[in-house]
Chains A and B, each alone.
Chain A
Amino acid sequence: MSAEIEDLLKRYQNYPNVSGIIILDPFAIPIKTTMEYTLTVHYAALISTLTYKAAKMITNLDASNELVTIRLRTKVHEVIVLPSENYIIIVVQNPGT
């Protein structure tokens, strides 16, 4: 598990434009982060709530379907959320437009 997380961090961190990576456990506690701590906790609280609501929303629309990923494009940056079984990966990137 820990080695797996390290591999994930290394893989995503090498991408261009990636400005931050946070990995949460299922209880929305940050395990690993490349961002400043206060911002990490802020992202963790908000994005984990959003992820759980998204999973529930998908189930409401179609009971046999399930959530794979969420992408939030804002004016400043883009937040990509990848929920998996044991943790939630949050990647913040600045896509050049």
Chain B
Amino acid sequence: MSKIYLKAMEDVVQRNTDNTNRITEQAQGFVVSENAGDSLLHTSFDLTTAQSIVKHLHASFLKLAQSCVRDLDTDDKLCFLRVKTRKHEFLVSPEEAFTVTVVL
């Protein structure tokens, strides 16, 4: 089951190569991770950097942000998250099955 699922995700990544190429023209890079197990799906960074972003940003901080929004209003939902730092900016888009982070 898990292998079939990951295979389907890889097919989606293949079909969106044009989009990801366009992203990397404007940004430093991107990271796509699966929501269920917080595993790395696709990235333009090296593996260490991508795993670090998935671990700290997707698995930990994004979940906290989503729970904050849910606590404030149970009908509300987090659609987009921007974290601006001194060096770069993280644009996080949480979707149903996966999460995309673009680093500007």
Contact = CB atoms under 8 A, between A and B. Distances in A.
Nearest to B88: A65
A58 B72 contact: no
Interface in B47-66: 52-53, 56-57, 60-61, 64-65
Interface in A68-88: 68-76
Interface string A36-76: 00000011001101100110011011101111111111111
B57 A66 contact: no
Interface stretch (B3-11, B20-28, B73-81): B73-81
A49 B71 CA distance: 13
- Secondary structure of the B side of the interface? mixed
B69 A72 contact: yes
Chain B interface size, as a band, is 20 to 34
Contacts, number: 81
Interface string B77-89: 1111111111110
A73 B80 contact: yes
B1 to A, nearest CB: 32
Contacts of A75: 75-77, 79
9 contacts: A50-B68, A53-B64, A57-B83, A58-B83, A69-B82, A72-B68, A72-B69, A72-B80, A76-B73
